[in-house]
Structure 1
Amino acid sequence: MKITICGSMAFYEEMLRTKSQLEKMSHEVRIPIEGFADENGNLLSVEHYNQLRKNLQIAPEEYGSKKRVDILEHFEKIKWSNSILVANFDKKNIANYIGANTLMEMGLALYLQKGIYLLNPVPDVPYQTEILGTLPKILNGDLSLIK
């Protein structure tokens, strides 16, 4: 199966591990961006880029422009896939966090009639009903349930 992993970039290391596990199960897997290039074309890790952004060393307009490109590129990965897997782990004192970008990706997957899997249960957030409205299959951490 062709699977695109979605989730907060704070979970990037977990996404890499999940990608590896899925590939061992013979799935084709795509993940969000692997890094950002600086003005000289040097690749920065996601963590380093986010730290620069938080320290305001990257202008908000530049970050917004880059973010738009990244969103559209990830939407293409969702279009390519049969299903998405939401890597939802704990963040910001929220168990199984799903943020705004991931919810947008789930909405796109719903619209494109792709399968939607959540690695962990639905978080207790104000937009929980919107998440549930995409009718995700909850794996409770068991990747073998992806069919």
Structure 2
Amino acid sequence: MQNIAICGSMTFIEQMRALCNELENKGHRVFLPQDDEFDYQMRNAEAQIARKQKYIDDHLTKIRMSDAVLIANYDKHGVAGYIGPNTLMEMAFAYALDKEIWLLHAPGAQACQIEVLGLQPTVLEGFLQRLPNK
């Protein structure tokens, strides 16, 4: 079984938790992004940046400890298979570390679509059953 880091927009945290449960039930060790509450509107810019940096550092450490990343890229803002800036950054980090990259859904038309596809991810078409057996 593999160590898998799940990445995606925090809008999808509930879906990521469901994916985590499904993968853990199959024997995988799964890492989720930090999801504690932080009210960015109530903090000054310095506090916001410091908190964001901590979240980024923590999740990149999880990616480093993983064999692969699973991108939970659901539809958002009318974009199919949405991938935001943090997720693209995490994908590039995984790519640089020669980790497997799995997209839950094909990326729809968006600003980073070519970059995403350039990272040579495996598209699962919404089915975890399509994960490579390792």
Instruction: Give TM-score scaled by structure 2 length.
Output: 0.93
CA distance in 1, matches of 2:54, 2:105: 28
The match for 2:25 is 24
Superposition map of 1:41-56 within 5 A: 44=37, 49=38, 52-53=39-40, 56=41
Superposition map of 1:29-40 within 5 A: 29-35=30-36
Name the SS of the counterpart of 1:116 in structure 2.
Answer: strand
Runs of 4+ aligned residues of structure 1 deviating over 4 Å after TM superposition are none
Q: Is the 8 A contact 2:10 2:35 kept in 1?
A: no
Name the SS of the counterpart of 1:15 in structure 2.
Answer: helix
Name the SS of the counterpart of 2:126 in structure 1.
Answer: coil
Q: Deviations over 1:63-82 (max 9, x none)?
A: 11110111011000000000
The match for 1:65 is 50
Q: Deviations over 1:2-51 (max 9, x none)?
A: 1000000110000000000111111110000131xxxxxxxx3xxxx3xx
Superposition map of 1:1-147 within 5 A: 1-35=2-36, 44=37, 49=38, 52-53=39-40, 56-147=41-132
Across the aligned residues of Structure 1 and Structure 2, the Cα RMSD in angstroms comes to 1.0
Q: Following TM superposition, by how much is the alpha carbon of 1:123 offset from its aligned partner in structure 2, in angstroms?
A: 2.2
Q: Following TM superposition, by how much is the alpha carbon of 1:96 offset from its aligned partner in structure 2, in angstroms?
A: 1.2
Structure 2 gap ranges (5+): none
The match for 1:41 is none
Q: Following TM superposition, by how much is the alpha carbon of 1:83 offset from its aligned partner in structure 2, in angstroms?
A: 0.2
Name the SS of the counterpart of 2:42 in structure 1.
Answer: coil
CA distance in 2, matches of 1:58, 1:96: 31
Sequence identity, in percent? 38
Instruction: Give TM-score scaled by structure 1 length.
Output: 0.86
The amino acid that maps onto 2:3 is: K
